[in-house]
Structure 1
């Protein structure tokens, strides 16, 4: 290799060439890039070289153009980034929702076979129109190769260095489980907690001991869960129904929902009893772990002891009962009644098909009177506590789309499915807990990658849909597109105007069973500040604009909705701290960003510790950091 003229003789194997590249990388030299007049012994070698370069840089590539010479053999090829091209479709409106990656990217190389039989790079364009992410290159289809025999160990370097996805290894068996169990469950648990604390000081655990120093209750949360709570701790489900282990200790979960609509763990524990005292201890431990920040809303099962503890520890938190747990009790509670099927249908209509308090109460009282159910204690208690579970009365609060504890997300109903069962020992569980969290972190990592790497085409020419296309993650944009498609079944008509307030009636055709019926929703639009209020309260409940508001937007010729309707919670372009936090359960999983984040944190800690000794130094440090923060956007562009 002659670095002076960028000539490379690749007459040897590609592996030899890559060894040269790795040597330069190890020596601290920038990653090898294509250059003008580099030569290769064959077209395949050139393609392999560009493919390796693309994987190192973090982008996909394709063969864009090829030409044949007079002998009929290919002698000219253009290799380009897959985002080369345009998203403009010949059809102005489409219902296609498959993601696309095209983004007018100019990056490419042009290679040509000369008379000497070697292939030369004739043109190289290194710049991309999008961000390239080397740490996510393992997710590219070309790099997702799986061997027949897979061994997961520390040498693998974590998910970043493994070229297959979680679903590829879901059935592997962890060989360390038996060894861990030999030490004894209690000892294994304490060893596990101490080890996690050593790996990351933000790992939190708490033990509740009885008078004989036996463990009664346990709570813990890893550093990633604590960091994720900052973004996704507004609404939490607390589930005690998952399983009870062989020690008769209930495994309990605090679970939130992330920006992709996926479940994310925010802490868990083992309880020896489901009494008020145990729940109070657990909730206080969790609140201390989360620095005293209580959730806005919490979803639980119907449990008086749990309710008492929540009212005491989280007095400002809105507490609701799991709707699914209530509705699945209908057969058991009402199956003995005459006309059971009609009663069930009438109750479900009152629960699911009402949007105002008046409508709920009228329909409920109507079926109670019609079927003479005044003496049914279960229905009476439900009605008295309707503010805790009825969707009609809870839609005005934000629940991130959750109404049940066991959420069904793409077929994954429970957080630890496939990892633990009632016969799992405590020591086995601790190891499987790590595996489950690694897989969940990987799912979020993949969803982040797909949302940034691809684009879902708009299904209409609406500038509002285009607005959300650039902001929301794929899963949330798809939810919005459902509302855009359903807008076709809506007709908005102006009813009355009072000052700056315009009240619309939106007629919607809905299909219930085999029948079509009409629903009318009232939408109030403030022409001054562009506030919307719809009876269906979809935005308040899920953070997604409803079809009724979108119909009014079309009627008012609104080009873009205010920023307050584009929730930061669902955005894909946000750098969230928990994605940089070093996972206590897998140190080897670090990517370059995580490593830098962890190193900076340690540095900041030492500086803060020293500066805190002096008020003057502390003030100076604050001023320096403020000045640096102001210049940070400019530094990021350099």
Structure 2
């Protein structure tokens, strides 16, 4: 393809009104008096910002230049030879480059300074123009207070006047559309585009993301970079009617691909919200073929309410093409429970046992006989193999310590089928949730997020966190591929599974196989359809050695 470079500066017609969508906002100027009505500062040019046409891109940069105090021109254009179609252009400061030397007796003085400020726009998908290069720094003084009228600004005003219907009374006020995405519209004002005119309802700031200086651009630039380098990157931003940012969700290509393999059980981690971190992070986490945590999406939540949870759940579900998980694990937050039942009605909703047990000292630590209460609670939760055993142990604990009026324990008991292991034997957790007393659980971003982590700091660490997780997975892949497993039995199924499982999963399987050898004297008790119940005796030195086991016929 031959590239032709032409130096030119187009003149574009502008209209008073434009029937656009919510990603455009109007700016009114009084060019004779210099006053402005309903003014919104244009956002800084950012890589990734797109426009519907070349004209819109030019108008946007021209308006931005006028507000900053400099003029622009099209310094370079590239055309496809056969179609004579422009596909790339460079919009530069009017002081860019230098004029050719004149042989006239009294040449005009040089006014250009070789200014590097510019944007490069390119046609993508044969229909939209995208900013692909940006340079904001000038090598000369620019200031909005300098009342200089540049050629590009004059053309903009004349075009607007020409487009005004002749029947309208003469007036110097005209409307120019400022083309921007909703995200950039908010970013340009620190995510706070709220009119200060009297009579306008002031929004509730407690229900928006509280971004500090630099956070807004860091987040948006992170999305732009990811979108350009990661074609299957997905993100959504949720704004209110005043362009305040409420929620954000994103998932990279690797997370979307991983969900196709590891969608059985998904944990929704809201630790940052529960612990009231400055960063309102919510993470969707699964488990991979090595038993390692794998990220399936992230988000920032502006408020812990049903509405906000529903939005981010639907955003995640849309990202995953509507494929719902079989099991969802969360904490006990009531708005979270309602949102899960609304968005994921077919999924089994469970509570994380580890999080509940971690709250025992906080909820019961001030009670007399706390250590004994804790011991009995642990026994009821972790050692009960039958539902009747749990019910008996729980009742004894409540009566012995007079805990019948304890609201927290009442809530736990009412929701016992969603967190007590004995009620969840038929639920597949993929090994994600600790169900033994000595097991612990680490958040996916553990070590990268603390109480005062900012948005900017998090997006800067995001790539590093994922890189280390991916490296850990790749290392485990290599180890599994090169490992030779020592078989514990002569059973054919052990040989078969040693070829199918990864090293970590096969080790867990072998521990169950070893446990099988301590069992003897199995006796069938009942058969109810596909469910067969056996009594199994086990050689272990604990209280009682008979256990009931239920199996489903294949």
TM-score (norm 1): 0.49
Output the CA distance in 2 between the equivalents of 1:429 and 1:408: 31
Output the CA distance in 2 between the equivalents of 1:371 and 1:417: 37
Q: Deviations over 1:555-594 (max 9, x none)?
A: xxxxxxxxxxxxxxxxxxxxxxxxxxxxxxxxxxxxxxxx
Which residues of 2 match residues 64-83 of structure 1 at below 5 A? none
Q: Give the match for residue 320 of structure 2.
A: 290
Q: Assess if the C-alpha contact under 8 Å between 1:206 and 1:219 holds in 2.
A: yes
After superposition, the Cα gap between the structure-2 partners of 1:183 and 1:522, relative to the gap in structure 1 and judged at 3 Å, is closer
Q: Give the match for residue 520 of structure 1.
A: 546
Which residues of 2 match residues 395-544 of structure 1 at below 5 A? 395-403=425-433, 413-495=442-524, 504-510=534-540, 516-523=542-549, 531=554
Correspondence for 1:253 among 283, 294, 297: 283
Q: Secondary structure at the match of 1:470?
A: helix
Output the CA distance in 2 between the equivalents of 1:404 and 1:508: 24
Q: Assess if the C-alpha contact under 8 Å between 2:278 and 2:454 holds in 1.
A: no
After superposition, the Cα gap between the structure-2 partners of 1:327 and 1:452, relative to the gap in structure 1 and judged at 3 Å, is same
Which residues of 2 match residues 198-217 of structure 1 at below 5 A? 198-217=228-247
Q: Which runs of 4+ in 1 moved over 6 A?
A: 243-247, 497-502
After superposition, the Cα gap between the structure-2 partners of 1:467 and 1:315, relative to the gap in structure 1 and judged at 3 Å, is same
Q: Deviations over 1:23-58 (max 9, x none)?
A: xxxxxxxxxxxxxxxxxxxxxxxxxxxxxxxxxxxx
Which stretch has the larger CA shift, 202-211 or 182-191? 182-191
Q: Give the match for residue 337 of structure 1.
A: 367
Output the CA distance in 1 between the equivalents of 2:370 and 2:276: 39
Correspondence for 2:220 among 185, 190, 198: 190
After superposition, the Cα gap between the structure-2 partners of 1:500 and 1:208, relative to the gap in structure 1 and judged at 3 Å, is closer
Unpaired segments of 5 or more residues in structure 1?
1-180, 532-638
After superposition, the Cα gap between the structure-2 partners of 1:497 and 1:193, relative to the gap in structure 1 and judged at 3 Å, is closer
Higher relative contact order (Cα pairs below 8 Å, separated by 6+ residues): 1
1:358 aligns with 2:384: no
After superposition, the Cα gap between the structure-2 partners of 1:510 and 1:272, relative to the gap in structure 1 and judged at 3 Å, is farther
Output the CA distance in 1 between the equivalents of 2:353 and 2:447: 25
Q: Secondary structure at the match of 1:480?
A: helix
1:230 aligns with 2:285: no
- How far did residue 347 of structure 1 move? 1.7
Q: Deviations over 1:478-498 (max 9, x none)?
A: 001111222333223334687
After superposition, the Cα gap between the structure-2 partners of 1:524 and 1:237, relative to the gap in structure 1 and judged at 3 Å, is closer
After superposition, the Cα gap between the structure-2 partners of 1:330 and 1:418, relative to the gap in structure 1 and judged at 3 Å, is closer
Q: Give the match for residue 399 of structure 2.
A: 369
1:317 aligns with 2:347: yes
- How far did residue 500 of structure 1 move? 11
After superposition, the Cα gap between the structure-2 partners of 1:408 and 1:238, relative to the gap in structure 1 and judged at 3 Å, is farther
Output the CA distance in 1 between the equivalents of 2:302 and 2:466: 24
Task: Flag the structure with larger Rg.
Answer: 2
After superposition, the Cα gap between the structure-2 partners of 1:437 and 1:408, relative to the gap in structure 1 and judged at 3 Å, is farther
Q: Assess if the C-alpha contact under 8 Å between 1:254 and 1:268 holds in 2.
A: yes
After superposition, the Cα gap between the structure-2 partners of 1:201 and 1:183, relative to the gap in structure 1 and judged at 3 Å, is farther
Q: Assess if the C-alpha contact under 8 Å between 1:469 and 1:477 holds in 2.
A: yes
Q: Give the match for residue 274 of structure 1.
A: 304
Q: Assess if the C-alpha contact under 8 Å between 1:333 and 1:378 holds in 2.
A: yes
Output the CA distance in 1 between the equivalents of 2:381 and 2:243: 48
Q: Secondary structure at the match of 1:295?
A: coil
Output the CA distance in 2 between the equivalents of 1:297 and 1:182: 36
After superposition, the Cα gap between the structure-2 partners of 1:523 and 1:249, relative to the gap in structure 1 and judged at 3 Å, is closer
Which residues of 2 match residues 7-18 of structure 1 at below 5 A? none
Q: Give the match for residue 70 of structure 2.
A: none
Across the aligned residues of Structure 1 and Structure 2, the Cα RMSD in angstroms comes to: 3.1
Q: Deviations over 1:356-413 (max 9, x none)?
A: 32222222223222333222222122111111211111121111122369x999x982
Q: Give the match for residue 102 of structure 2.
A: none
Q: Assess if the C-alpha contact under 8 Å between 1:245 and 1:423 holds in 2.
A: no
1:307 aligns with 2:343: no
Q: Assess if the C-alpha contact under 8 Å between 1:249 and 1:272 holds in 2.
A: no
Output the CA distance in 2 between the equivalents of 1:365 and 1:494: 31
Q: Give the match for residue 567 of structure 1.
A: none
Output the CA distance in 1 between the equivalents of 2:264 and 2:458: 28
Q: Secondary structure at the match of 1:434?
A: helix
TM-score (norm 2): 0.57
Q: Give the match for residue 376 of structure 2.
A: 346
Which residues of 2 match residues 91-130 of structure 1 at below 5 A? none
Q: Give the match for residue 160 of structure 2.
A: none
- How far did residue 510 of structure 1 move? 4.0
Output the CA distance in 2 between the equivalents of 1:206 and 1:395: 37
- How far did residue 353 of structure 1 move? 1.4
Structure with the larger helix share: 1
Unpaired segments of 5 or more residues in structure 2?
1-210
